[in-house]
C-alpha cells in the first residue's frame, strides 16, 4: 500500500472473522469448546455483522453444581494463603493482561461491538483493578476501637467470605468480571463466573489467562471456574447455597429476579443494575466542555453503557444553543465498523436493541417529543444483518414514562428548567440512581448538586459526563440500580466477612454496660 491509498477496510466475511477469532484465542491459550449435538450450547455471534461465528458448548445444571463444589473445596486452601501471596497471583494476571491487551480488546470489539479505543480502555481497566487489588492485598484489615472495660482489647478482623458467583452483562464483558475477580481473589475468595451469553469468547480468553496466572504462581486452579450459558445457568449459580456472595451485573429486571433468590437463602448480593443517567446544564456552564462531555457519555459504546447519559436537563437560557451544537456534533458522528479508524459509534449488540430504540422514539414522539438529530438505522457495507444506528437527540416537553425507563441504545432526551431545585427534583424522579453530573461554573450550584439535597445517585460528577469512571472509586448506584459498590475505595468489604473480637488480657471479668452477674 502506498501512503496515498486509503487503509484497507477490515473484512466482514464470516469466515475471516472466525479465522481471526480462532487465531486470537489460540494466542491467548484458549479454545472454543465445541457443542455436542444433544448438549447445551450457545451461539457466539458478532454484532459487527449480526452473524453466528461458533456454536459453543454451554454448562448444564450439573456442571454448575460441580464448578461450585470445586470452588468451595478450593476455598479451604485459598483462604489460608497469606493475602500478599494471593496478591502475587493477581499481579501475574495483570501482567498477562497487559501483554495480551490488543488481542483481548479485539475480542471485546468482536463480541460487544466496542470501537477499538474503548475496547482497549476496557482491558486497561482490568489491568488497573489488578494493580489496585495487589495494593489491597497488603492493606485489607480492621480497626481497633477503645474498649469500655479495663484490660480489654476491642477490634475487628476481616476474613475471606467464600465462593463468589459473578454474573456479568454483555456491555462490559471483561472489566466487570475483573473488578470482582481481582478483589475477590486477594480477599481469599474463589470465583465462579457466568458471563453474558452474548460474550462467551472473551470469557474463554480471560479464563485462559487467569488459569495461566494461577498455574504459574502455584494457586489452586479451582479458585476460578467459568460456566457458560444463558439465564438458566445464572439461575442455577445464584440459587446454590454454597455461593456466599452473588455479584450480579445487568438489567434491573435481572436484579429483581436474582435478589429475592439469594435473600431467601440468606446469601449476600452485590447488585449492579440499570441506570438512567442525567446531566444538568446551568447557564454558567462552559458549553464547549459540556458538548464534549455530553457527546462522549451519550453516544460512547453506542449508548450501551450502564452510565450512558440518557437525559439532559438544560437551563432554558442556554437550551437552544446547546441543542444546536449537539445536533451539529451528532450529524458528524462517524457510525460504522468499530475496527475502522475514525469510527466513534459501533453497532448495537443485537437487532432487538435497535427495535427497542425505535419503539422508544415512537413513544417519545407520541408524548410530544421532537427528534432533532439521528435515530435512523444505518446500513454498513458487508454488515447488512447488523444493528447500526445513528444516535438520537430528542427534545421532550417533560419527563414522560419512556424517559424514566432505561432504553439500552443511544437516545438522549433533552428537557429544560428555570429553577435548579426543580431541575434536581426532575433529575431524581426516575427509578434508577446510578450516575449523574452537573455542568456549571458556579461553585454554589456544584455544591448544591453534590449535597444531601442534590443528586440521589451513587456517582455524582461536576463538569464531566456521567460515564467513564476510574477504578479507584467505589462504583455503583442507588434505588433500582441495586445499591452495590464494586471496584475501588472500600468496596473490598463486600467480599469479606467481619468478626468483632474482644480480648480480655486482665484477670478480672467485668461485664459491658456495668452489668453485675454475681
Restricted to residues 423-452, the positions that interact with ligand NAD (CB under 6 A) are 434
Of the candidates 118, 337, 406, 445, which one interacts with ligand NAD according to CB under 6 A?
406
User: Between residues 154 and 230, which has the closer beta carbon with respect to ligand NAD?
Assistant: 230
Residue 343, CA distances (Å) to 78, 116, 333, 353 in order: 45, 9, 8, 20
Cell of 364: 417519545
Cell of 481: 440500580
CB of 205 to ligand NAD, least distance (A): 17
User: Between residues 17 and 246, which has the closer beta carbon with respect to ligand NAD?
Assistant: 246
Cell of 368: 410530544
Of the candidates 49, 116, 171, 461, which one interacts with ligand NAD according to CB under 6 A?
171
Binding mask 37-76 for ligand NAD (x = CB under 6 A): ----------------------------------------
Give the residue ranges of DSSP H helices in 240-314.
252-264, 287-299
CB of 233 to ligand NAD, least distance (A): 7
Binding mask 223-262 for ligand NAD (x = CB under 6 A): -------xx--xx--x----------xxx--x--xx----
C-alpha–C-alpha distance, residues 295 and 288, integer Å: 11
Catalytic residue at 272? yes
| Segment (H or E) for 338 | none
CB of 469 to ligand NAD, least distance (A): 9
Restricted to residues 457-516, the positions that interact with ligand NAD (CB under 6 A) are 481
* 170 is a contact residue toward ligand NAD (CB under 6 A): yes
Q: Residue count at the site for ligand NAD (CB under 6 A)? A: 30
C-alpha–C-alpha distance, residues 182 and 473, integer Å: 15
C-alpha–C-alpha distance, residues 12 and 246, integer Å: 38
Restricted to residues 138-167, the positions that interact with ligand NAD (CB under 6 A) are 167
User: Between residues 249 and 436, which has the closer beta carbon with respect to ligand NAD?
Assistant: 249
Of the candidates 75, 177, 296, 408, which one interacts with ligand NAD according to CB under 6 A?
408
- Give the dihedral of Cα atoms 166, 170, 172, 175; nearest 10 deg: 40
β-pairing verdict for 163-167 and 152-160? unpaired
CB of 304 to ligand NAD, least distance (A): 7
Restricted to residues 174-213, the positions that interact with ligand NAD (CB under 6 A) are 176, 194, 196-197
User: Between residues 168 and 437, which has the closer beta carbon with respect to ligand NAD?
Assistant: 168
Q: Return the closest-CA partner of residue 380 out of 4, 6, 47.
A: 47
| Segment (H or E) for 351 | helix 351-366
Give the SS3 label for residue 314: strand
C-alpha–C-alpha distance, residues 271 and 290, integer Å: 30
The terminus-to-terminus CA distance of the chain in angstroms comes to: 94
* 112 is a contact residue toward ligand NAD (CB under 6 A): no
User: Between residues 122 and 445, which has the closer beta carbon with respect to ligand NAD?
Assistant: 122
User: Between residues 383 and 434, which has the closer beta carbon with respect to ligand NAD?
Assistant: 434
CB of 334 to ligand NAD, least distance (A): 24
CB of 206 to ligand NAD, least distance (A): 14
User: Between residues 273 and 446, which has the closer beta carbon with respect to ligand NAD?
Assistant: 273
Of the candidates 169, 270, 318, 412, which one interacts with ligand NAD according to CB under 6 A?
169
Restricted to residues 300-359, the positions that interact with ligand NAD (CB under 6 A) are 306
- Identify the active-site residue in 111, 197, 272, 486: 272
Restricted to residues 269-308, the positions that interact with ligand NAD (CB under 6 A) are 272-275, 306
Rounded (10°) angle between helices 83-99 and 116-136: 160
User: Between residues 93 and 170, which has the closer beta carbon with respect to ligand NAD?
Assistant: 170
- For residue 486, the cross-strand partners are 475
| Segment (H or E) for 379 | none
297 contacts 467 by C-beta, under 8 angstroms: yes
Residue 494, CA distances (Å) to 75, 89, 123, 157, 498 in order: 17, 21, 24, 14, 10
> What's the DSSP call for residue 35?
P
190 φ, ψ to 5°?
-75, 160
CB of 19 to ligand NAD, least distance (A): 27
Q: Return the closest-CA partner of residue 338 out of 159, 108, 86.
A: 108
CB of 76 to ligand NAD, least distance (A): 26
> Site residues (CB under 6 A) for ligand NAD?
167-172, 176, 194, 196-197, 230-231, 234-235, 238, 249-251, 254, 257-258, 272-275, 306, 406, 408, 434, 481
Give catalytic residues, as residue numbers.
272
Amino acid at each position: 500500500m502506498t501512503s496515498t491509498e486509503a487503509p484497507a477496510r477490515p473484512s466482514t466475511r464470516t469466515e475471516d472473522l472466525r479465522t481471526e477469532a480462532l487465531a486470537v484465542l489460540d494466542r491467548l491459550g484458549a479454545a472454543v469448546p465445541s457443542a455436542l449435538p444433544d448438549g447445551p450450547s450457545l451461539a457466539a455471534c458478532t454484532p459487527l455483522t449480526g452473524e453466528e461465528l461458533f456454536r459453543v458448548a454451554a454448562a448444564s445444571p450439573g456442571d454448575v453444581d460441580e464448578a461450585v463444589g470445586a470452588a468451595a473445596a478450593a476455598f479451604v486452601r485459598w483462604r489460608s494463603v497469606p493475602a500478599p501471596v494471593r496478591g502475587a497471583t493477581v499481579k501475574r494476571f495483570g501482567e498477562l493482561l497487559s501483554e495480551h491487551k490488543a488481542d483481548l480488546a479485539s475480542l471485546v470489539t468482536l463480541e460487544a461491538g466496542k470501537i477499538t479505543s474503548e475496547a482497549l480502555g476496557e482491558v486497561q481497566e482490568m489491568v488497573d483493578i489488578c494493580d489496585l487489588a495487589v495494593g489491597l492485598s497488603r492493606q485489607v484489615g480492621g480497626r481497633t476501637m477503645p474498649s469500655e472495660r479495663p484490660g480489654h482489647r476491642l477490634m475487628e478482623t476481616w476474613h475471606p467470605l467464600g465462593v463468589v458467583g459473578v454474573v456479568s452483562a454483555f456491555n462490559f464483558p471483561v472489566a466487570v468480571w475483573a473488578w470482582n475477580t481481582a478483589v475477590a481473589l486477594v480477599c481469599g475468595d474463589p470465583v465462579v463466573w457466568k458471563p453474558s451469553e452474548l460474550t462467551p469468547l472473551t470469557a474463554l480468553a480471560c479464563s485462559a489467562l487467569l488459569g495461566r496466572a494461577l498455574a504459574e504462581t502455584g494457586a489452586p486452579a479451582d479458585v476460578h471456574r467459568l460456566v457458560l450459558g444463558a439465564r438458566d445457568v445464572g439461575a442455577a449459580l445464584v440459587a446454590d447455597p454454597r455461593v456466599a456472595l452473588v455479584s450480579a451485573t445487568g438489567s434491573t429486571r435481572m436484579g429483581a429476579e436474582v435478589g429475592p433468590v439469594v435473600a431467601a437463602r440468606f446469601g449476600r448480593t452485590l447488585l449492579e443494575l440499570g441506570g438512567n443517567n442525567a446531566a444538568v446544564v446551568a447557564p454558567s456552564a462552559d458549553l464547549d466542555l459540556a458538548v464534549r462531555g455530553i457527546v462522549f457519555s451519550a453516544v460512547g459504546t453506542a449508548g450501551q453503557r450502564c452510565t450512558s447519559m440518557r437525559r439532559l436537563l438544560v437551563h432554558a437560557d442556554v437550551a437552544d444553543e446547546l441543542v444546536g451544537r449537539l445536533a451539529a456534533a451528532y450529524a458528524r458522528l462517524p457510525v460504522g465498523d468499530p475496527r475502522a479508524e475514525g469510527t466513534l459509534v459501533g453497532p448495537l449488540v443485537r437487532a432487538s436493541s435497535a427495535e427497542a430504540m425505535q419503539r422508544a422514539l415512537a413513544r417519545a414522539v407520541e408524548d410530544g417529543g421532537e427528534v432533532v438529530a439521528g435515530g435512523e438505522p444505518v446500513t454498513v457495507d458487508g454488515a447488512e444483518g447488523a444493528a447500526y444506528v445513528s444516535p438520537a437527540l430528542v427534545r421532550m416537553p417533560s419527563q414522560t414514562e419512556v424517559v424514566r425507563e432505561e432504553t439500552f441504545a443511544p437516545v438522549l432526551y433533552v428537557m429544560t428548567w428555570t429553577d435548579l431545585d426543580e431541575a434536581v427534583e426532575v433529575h431524581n424522579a426516575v427509578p434508577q440512581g446510578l450516575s449523574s453530573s452537573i455542568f456549571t461554573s458556579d461553585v454554589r450550584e456544584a455544591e448544591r448538586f453534590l449535597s444531601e439535597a442534590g443528586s440521589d445517585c451513587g456517582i455524582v460528577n461536576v463538569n464531566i459526563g456521567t460515564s467513564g469512571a476510574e477504578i479507584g472509586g467505589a462504583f455503583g448506584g442507588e434505588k433500582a440500580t441495586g445499591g452495590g459498590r464494586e471496584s475501588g475505595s472500600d468496596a473490598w468489604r463486600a467480599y469479606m466477612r467481619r468478626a468483632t473480637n474482644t480480648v480480655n488480657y486482665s484477670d478480672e471479668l467485668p461485664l459491658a454496660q456495668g452489668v453485675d452477674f454475681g
